[in-house]
Chains A and B, each alone.
Chain A
Amino acid sequence: MDKKDIVIKVCSGTGSLSAGGKDVLEAFRSLAASTGTQAEFRDRCTAHQVGCRGFCSRDVLVDVIINGEKITYELIKPDMVPRIFEEHILQGDPVDEWMAGEQHREFHAAQTKIVLSHCGEMDPESLDAYLASGGYEAAHQAFVRMTPGEIIEEIKRSALRGRGGAGFPTGLKWEFAGRMRSKEKYVVCNGNESDPGAFADRCIMEGDPHSVIEGMMICARAIGAERGYIYVRDSYALAVKRLGLALRQCREHGFLGSNVFDSGFDLDIRLYPAPGAFICGEATALMKSIEGKRAMPSPRMWRTAEKGLWGRPTVINNVETLANVPRILGRGAEWFAGVGTENSGGTKVFSLTGKVKNTGLVEIPMGVTLREVIYGIGGGMVEDRAFKGIQLGGPTGGCLSEAFLDSRVDYESLALAGTIMGSGGMVVLDETSCIVDTARFFLDITQAESCGKCTPCRLGLRRMFEILQRITNGHGRNGDIELLEDLGSHIRATSLCGFGMTAPNPVLTTIRYFRDEYAVHIKDRKCPALVCKNLLTYSCIQENCTGCGLCKKVCPSDAIRGTRKKPHKIDQDLCVKCGSCFDACKFDAVLRE
């Protein structure tokens, strides 16, 4: 056999592990051992896990790199491994039919990977791998060669803004905290990502934990903090495990502890597994939680940078924000600022889901249009149906209509359209999605996740949810739209924290852009997207019906009448709207409207 380098990279994010990623990796390793390949090539043949690369619908993804030539396989199961090993690795003949195709290229081609650059490339559990890629050089530089003022200046010039959603300039935040005189200061990493469908922070923590820690180290140095906390949802078991491992490795190598890099500066970072309520991600609630109290937001009488954790100056940054920091120091603020728009530098990771062909984690530069994301990276709509709307920023974000397809994805443009960047959720809706039902879905989450402290959020959201529920159940009343608008703007105006201020957004934006659909639900008792079950009617198209009786057989409530070979009828009083007849009919004779 020729001399060659063999690297096998198996995706091992949570998505991949549940698809059998661990078994796939084991299969490669045992084959390498049993065929003698490992013995022959020694350290020139490696098989290791890598972080999630975002395209989880195609897991398990496997890269086989021979002499630098990379072939990616998708949807790999452990029993497919022997053939890949035999044909590709031993004989040098890639298995064409399992190779990742056009979709994979399309998905990755339009992305700019900065934060996610290590995910899919590097073993997240190996400090050596991180060091080999230049890891902790930025931290070393920050501790040894730069003054705190220089670090803050660099971050300010990079135009990095908080990726948690509100978009506060990170450099400014650090500057406030740095200016404070205090015996103790804290740096906190907010990893309480709770938006349904959003998994960007999870992916970073699982796939590149050392970047987060390095970002925290640089932040701690810049503001003069000696203690840091990584606040991660306990339900992110893999993230908790890998961050814990990474912290241990750092302590062993002296990157954390006393006298870091011989700079005379002490720093310890601890992991705080969070109870995992949605509201724990709110800065003041998060601090309460670390202090051991119930996570309820407090009124913001002071900046967190002035009086935060235990009343001390504290910087709370999102996972993604912190993971950007080592890259900025490594490659320079100008390069980073050049990637994004004038006001917000760099990229943002979005969780693209819904009715698009390619779903997954996408990293795009600030200022890209929604159209580019949906039709470029997303590969267009499923079955080429018409685009209807896009919910941005998770359950407290807003829903935008087709008119906004060409608007840019940055903090200002999105705020102008009435939504937020949020944690980067993008749920694409097509003509088969009901707007009212979507709004109800998001309100169902937020009303249950309200901490219950302030009146408008605790009761107002619940009442909005009840009104939406009644509309989708066909009991909408005249004036309900106005009542929703009134209550929504009331909650926005009077709530205590950012959660309440943004939670009515899905309803308010959908009413703003899709008012007609609400009106049809209430006045005509119809759901144009045919989603709201209680608003549907099933009837028989007499011309098409052959009287085959199939529908009669499947109907669970005996609502269908008729004699054989004669057109049938559906009794509306008995119909339970299950849709069985619609699915069963072979002659398109059942009309659903």
Chain B
Amino acid sequence: MVTLNIDGQDITVDRSYTLLDAVREMGITIPTLCHHPDLSLFGGCRLCLVEVSGMRRPAASCVTPVQEGMVVQSSTPYLERLRKTNVELLLSDHPNDCMLCERAGNCKLQELAYYYGLRENRFEGDRRIYSRKDNNPFLQREMEKCVMCGQCVRICDEIQGVGAIDFAYKGLWTKVTPPFERDLDCEFCGQCVGVCPTGALTGRIWAGKGRQKFREVDTVCSYCGCGCILTLAVKKNQIARIYSRKDTINEGMLCAKGRFAYEFVNSPERLTRPLIRTAPKKDWQLNDSGRYAQVKPERSSTNSSGVFREVSWEEALDHIAFRIKEIKDVHGADAIGGLASARCTNEENYLFQKFMRAAVGTNNVDHCARY
């Protein structure tokens, strides 16, 4: 453990802490753009500067390890001026179109500009202008809004293990891009969208669905058994976007399905009641060798795959019970197999195999992920 003094108060923290960790543990707010607790240290935005006695220059607290006896100032007029100038520089190369930006109201840069009252900019000059090139239904990139925090690059490489994007070019024209500036061709997990502090990376299906005053609904993702906790941002009973909070079992990480594939929720084609299929009788017949084989349907048959009939849950369950019994009586229990789903929870899958073994009496049970 190490004891140091921050803003006149002593604090004892673990040796592995950075100054930023220590300062935040005391409840003091320091602005950052590039820092992410789960990613490698970057030290690029230069907003988390603090003054440390004995150091010639202000130190970036996110990359300065704590040392015994350090005396730290987290906010002085000089530091605030430096931070303000850095925000001012970032804004001098920014489209400033908060009116139409998908992230307005939820943007770190906007918040900093507001905090420092930056209406005028002393450094008006050349701005990056890029054409948009996104032929995918998930991500929208507006790279002129990028502040080069590098969080997207790091999360893609370090957490997702994909490495689809990296920095390219130098100076003002430095840019985060897929290799050779091609179109994005990755797994579209949207982790980069999740960490982007500005409107540079957004979800394509977010557009026009509202930006603020959401009703937040926590739920569990229904796509797989991992059970990621989703937070649905709901407006007018429609999902506007999905994200996940840091304090969940998935630590705020989501995949492409959990993050973007929610349009089914309000789809008119979504199945909301059980269906029973009436299959045409003569499709399958026992042949001479005692096996079932498909026979060609007669031309007069209108629908070879059968007809779906919407029924109540009672009728559906009765039908299943009746048919299982019928098959078991005629052909024995091992003529029945059960396939469960990886989307179900462990408990549900346990119950299912129990049902198949105890109630039906067969070991023919499996499911798509086999765990």
Interface residues of A (CB under 8 A from B): 277, 279, 294, 296, 298-299, 301, 447-456, 458-463, 466, 483, 486-487, 490, 492-496, 501
List 4 additional A-B contacts (Cβ < 8 Å) besides A454-B43, A455-B90, A463-B92: A448-B170, A452-B148, A463-B123, A493-B57
Chain B residues with Cβ below 8 Å from A496 are 43-44, 46, 60
Q: How far is the CB of B16 from chain A (nearest CB, A)?
A: 12
Pairwise interchain contact A458-B174, C-beta atoms closer than 8 A: yes
Pairwise interchain contact B90-A451, C-beta atoms closer than 8 A: no
A-B contact number at CB 8 A: 104
Q: How far is the CB of B301 from chain A (nearest CB, A)?
A: 64
Chain B residues with Cβ below 8 Å from A454 are 43-46
Pairwise interchain contact B41-A301, C-beta atoms closer than 8 A: yes
Q: Does B100 belong to the interface (CB within 8 Å)?
A: no
Chain A residues with Cβ below 8 Å from B123 are 459, 463, 487
Chain B residues with Cβ below 8 Å from A461 are 171
- Identify which of A294, A449, A492 contacts B171 (C-beta below 8 A): A449
- Identify which of B42, B49, B122, B148 contacts A494 (C-beta below 8 A): B49
22 A-B residue pairs with Cβ-Cβ distance under 8 Å, sorted by A, are: A296-B167, A299-B43, A299-B60, A448-B171, A449-B171, A450-B172, A451-B170, A452-B172, A454-B43, A455-B44, A455-B47, A456-B86, A458-B171, A458-B174, A459-B93, A459-B172, A483-B122, A487-B85, A490-B82, A494-B82, A494-B85, A495-B46
Q: Does B264 belong to the interface (CB within 8 Å)?
A: no
CB-CB nearest 3 A-B residue pairs: A452-B174, A299-B63, A299-B43
Chain B residues with Cβ below 8 Å from A492 are 57
Pairwise interchain contact B57-A301, C-beta atoms closer than 8 A: no
Pairwise interchain contact A455-B60, C-beta atoms closer than 8 A: no
Q: How far is the CA of A490 from the CA of B88 in the complex (A)?
A: 12
Q: How far is the CA of A270 from the CA of B42 in the complex (A)?
A: 29
Q: How far is the CA of A443 from the CA of B8 in the complex (A)?
A: 41
Pairwise interchain contact A494-B125, C-beta atoms closer than 8 A: no
- Identify which of A453, A459, A466 contacts B90 (C-beta below 8 A): A459
Question: Which residues in chain B, 163-202, are within 8 Å of chain A measured between CB atoms?
Answer: 166-167, 169-174
Pairwise interchain contact B43-A493, C-beta atoms closer than 8 A: no
Q: Does B258 belong to the interface (CB within 8 Å)?
A: no
CB-defined interface of B57-73 with A at 8 Å, one 1/0 digit per residue?
Answer: 11010011100000000
Chain A residues with Cβ below 8 Å from B203 are none
Chain A residues with Cβ below 8 Å from B86 are 455-456, 494
Q: How far is the CA of A377 from the CA of B93 in the complex (A)?
A: 47
Closest chain A residue to B41, Cβ basis: A299
Pairwise interchain contact A298-B43, C-beta atoms closer than 8 A: yes
**Interface class of chain A by DSSP:** helix
Pairwise interchain contact A458-B46, C-beta atoms closer than 8 A: no
Interface centre among A296, A459, A490 (most CB of B within 10 A): A459
Q: How far is the CB of A464 from chain B (nearest CB, A)?
A: 9
Chain A residues with Cβ below 8 Å from B93 are 459
Chain A residues with Cβ below 8 Å from B172 are 447, 450, 452, 458-459, 462
Pairwise interchain contact A301-B63, C-beta atoms closer than 8 A: yes
Q: Quick one: given A301-B41, A458-B172, A458-B174, are A452 and B57 in contact (CB under 8 Å)?
A: no
Chain B residues with Cβ below 8 Å from A493 are 57-58, 82
Interface residues of B (CB under 8 A from A): 41-47, 49, 57-58, 60, 63-65, 82, 85-86, 89-90, 92-93, 122-123, 125-126, 147-148, 150, 166-167, 169-174
Q: How far is the CA of A492 from the CA of B46 in the complex (A)?
A: 12
Chain B residues with Cβ below 8 Å from A495 are 46
Q: How far is the CA of A450 from the CA of B172 in the complex (A)?
A: 8
Q: How far is the CA of A484 from the CA of B46 in the complex (A)?
A: 19
- Identify which of B46, B58, B63, B171 contacts A455 (C-beta below 8 A): B46
Q: How far is the CB of A155 from chain B (nearest CB, A)?
A: 27
Q: How far is the CA of A455 from the CA of B122 in the complex (A)?
A: 16
Q: Quick one: given A454-B45, A456-B86, A462-B125, are A494 and B58 in contact (CB under 8 Å)?
A: yes
Closest chain A residue to B57, Cβ basis: A493
Chain B residues with Cβ below 8 Å from A458 are 148, 171-172, 174
Interface centre among B126, B166, B169, B171 (most CB of A within 10 A): B171
- Identify which of A298, A452, A453 contacts B169 (C-beta below 8 A): A452
Closest chain A residue to B122, Cβ basis: A483
Interface centre among B46, B64, B148 (most CB of A within 10 A): B46
Q: How far is the CA of A279 from the CA of B92 in the complex (A)?
A: 24
Q: How far is the CB of A330 from chain B (nearest CB, A)?
A: 38
Q: How far is the CB of A486 from chain B (nearest CB, A)?
A: 8
Q: How far is the CB of A15 from chain B (nearest CB, A)?
A: 28
Pairwise interchain contact B125-A456, C-beta atoms closer than 8 A: no
Q: How far is the CB of A112 from chain B (nearest CB, A)?
A: 34
Closest chain B residue to A463, Cβ basis: B123
Pairwise interchain contact B89-A451, C-beta atoms closer than 8 A: no
Q: How far is the CA of A261 from the CA of B149 in the complex (A)?
A: 50
Pairwise interchain contact A494-B46, C-beta atoms closer than 8 A: yes
Pairwise interchain contact B82-A294, C-beta atoms closer than 8 A: no
Q: How far is the CB of A33 from chain B (nearest CB, A)?
A: 51
Q: How far is the CA of A448 from the CA of B126 in the complex (A)?
A: 13
Interface centre among B47, B86, B150, B166 (most CB of A within 10 A): B86
Pairwise interchain contact A450-B170, C-beta atoms closer than 8 A: yes
Chain A residues with Cβ below 8 Å from B43 are 298-299, 454, 496
Pairwise interchain contact B89-A459, C-beta atoms closer than 8 A: yes
Q: How far is the CA of A451 from the CA of B93 in the complex (A)?
A: 16
Closest chain B residue to A492, Cβ basis: B57
Q: How far is the CB of A246 from chain B (nearest CB, A)?
A: 32
Q: How far is the CA of A458 from the CA of B170 in the complex (A)?
A: 8
Chain A residues with Cβ below 8 Å from B89 are 455-456, 459-460, 463
Closest chain B residue to A449, Cβ basis: B170
Pairwise interchain contact A490-B85, C-beta atoms closer than 8 A: yes
Chain B residues with Cβ below 8 Å from A301 are 41, 63-65
Q: How far is the CB of A114 from chain B (nearest CB, A)?
A: 33
Pairwise interchain contact B125-A466, C-beta atoms closer than 8 A: yes
Q: How far is the CA of A496 from the CA of B58 in the complex (A)?
A: 11
Q: How far is the CA of A463 from the CA of B171 in the complex (A)?
A: 11
Pairwise interchain contact A453-B122, C-beta atoms closer than 8 A: no
Q: How far is the CB of A508 from chain B (nearest CB, A)?
A: 15
Closest chain B residue to A490, Cβ basis: B85
Chain A residues with Cβ below 8 Å from B58 are 493-494
Pairwise interchain contact B126-A462, C-beta atoms closer than 8 A: yes
Pairwise interchain contact A447-B167, C-beta atoms closer than 8 A: no
Closest chain A residue to B175, Cβ basis: A452
Pairwise interchain contact B85-A453, C-beta atoms closer than 8 A: no
Chain B residues with Cβ below 8 Å from A279 are 170
Chain A residues with Cβ below 8 Å from B49 are 494
Q: How far is the CA of A299 from the CA of B65 in the complex (A)?
A: 11
Closest chain B residue to A466, Cβ basis: B125
Q: How far is the CB of A249 from chain B (nearest CB, A)?
A: 37
Q: How far is the CA of A459 from the CA of B92 in the complex (A)?
A: 8
- Identify which of A452, A459, A460 contacts B167 (C-beta below 8 A): A452
Closest chain A residue to B65, Cβ basis: A301
Q: How far is the CA of A493 from the CA of B170 in the complex (A)?
A: 21
Chain B residues with Cβ below 8 Å from A453 are 42, 44, 148, 150, 167, 174
Q: How far is the CA of A459 from the CA of B45 in the complex (A)?
A: 11
Q: How far is the CB of A523 from chain B (nearest CB, A)?
A: 20
Q: How far is the CB of A448 from chain B (nearest CB, A)?
A: 5
Q: How far is the CB of B183 from chain A (nearest CB, A)?
A: 21
Chain B residues with Cβ below 8 Å from A494 are 46, 49, 57-58, 82, 85-86
Pairwise interchain contact A462-B171, C-beta atoms closer than 8 A: yes
Pairwise interchain contact A452-B171, C-beta atoms closer than 8 A: yes
Q: How far is the CB of A104 from chain B (nearest CB, A)?
A: 41
Chain B residues with Cβ below 8 Å from A448 are 170-171
Pairwise interchain contact B167-A294, C-beta atoms closer than 8 A: yes
